[in-house]
Chain A
């Protein structure tokens, strides 16, 4: 289990509910990386916006290249999530 409280989709209200609904529209589910930030919907929203801007906005980098960079960074950080 995560080491801090998290708010699940069925309990989400207000701004958090809006973020979860957007996540479900984008990806079909609420991934744990959103739930782990659920106590602060403001930073969650900013984090998701930065993710969209870096990974999905138009770029000379292909989607594959961006995923490759993300994978390398995560491996170097020994982050398996």
Chain B
């Protein structure tokens, strides 16, 4: 895993587990990995979308896809 990928994964995990604990400092590893503000927004939107859709799936007892 690259440093950039690690930064993306760590950020997404923390933002999922502890959204109320997020601070401006949490963006530093993303900036150090070269992300612009536009890319940071995209990270947040992707992570937030999956938090939303996970809840929809789990709350309604979604069936796994057939193999």
Residues on A close to B: CB < 8 A? 1-4, 31-33, 36-37, 47, 50-51, 53-55, 59-61, 65-66, 68-70, 72-74, 76-77, 79-81
How many angstroms between the C-alpha atoms of A72 and B30 in the bound complex? 16
The interface residues of chain A lying within 8 Å CB-to-CB of B27 are none
Of A32, A61, A77, which one neighbours B63 at CB under 8 angstroms? A32
Residues on B close to A: CB < 8 A? 4-5, 8-9, 12-13, 16-17, 35-36, 38-39, 42-43, 45-47, 49-58, 60-65
Check B65–A31 contact: CB distance below 8 A.
yes
Check B63–A72 contact: CB distance below 8 A.
no
Nearest B residue to A59 via CB reads B42
Check A59–B39 contact: CB distance below 8 A.
yes
Known contacts: A33-B57, A59-B39, A65-B8. The answer to whether A70 contacts B50 by CB under 8 A is yes
